[in-house]
Amino acid sequence: MEKELQYVDLVEQPIAMHPKKFAMWLFMVTVVMIFAALTSAYIVRQAEGNWLDYELPGIFWVTSGIVVLSSICLQWAYYSAKKDNLAQLRIGMVAAVVLGIAFLVGQWYSWVALVDREVFFVGNPAGSFLYVFTGLHAAHLISGVIFLIIVLISTFRYKVHSQSMTAMEMATTYWHFLGGLWIYLFMFLLLNH
């Protein structure tokens, strides 16, 4: 008796990711590329000379602490959402939003401090780079604060809980990314100033 060969197709499960999360990750990759290009340009231009020496505003230390604290609050909110602890979720979200706004206010005061030290956007490239770094980061942070506010509103509408975490996961990932990006920029400026 002749045996028939049977072919069994093993279908592999594709790696699945929510389309909005995928789009967010692509966006974050482009932001990394932009800041990598800017920091590379900073190093190249600094090496050419004619570079203004000035002190970084001390408020950068404060804003760095604020952004780290906001990430901690948001992570606490995330864990609270996973446990369906809606009261702690809302407190964590409110704290993260308030601290995000405080960071932006602090960045504004850093620009005021730069102007007081006669470091302007136009004139010397050293000042121009600093304004571009902080301004571009602030623009992304504004989008992050808006995203956090949207998620905060969703928490009061009972749309964020252990069974509905997509928006919360995206907000947390994006906010941690922005915080990490600021820490990178601040350390870069401290080391290459």
Report pLDDT digits (tens) over 77-93: 999 999 999 999 999 99
Q: Is 25 exposed, middle or buried (0-12, 13-18, 19+ CB in 10 A)?
A: middle
Q: Which residues contact 55 (CB under 8 A, 6 or more apart)?
A: 117
Which domains does the chain show, CATH number per domain? Answer: 57-191 (1.20.120.80)
The tens digit of pLDDT for each residue in 36-77 reads: 999 999 999 999 888 888 889 999 999 999 999 999 999 999
- For the whole model, what pTM was predicted? 0.87
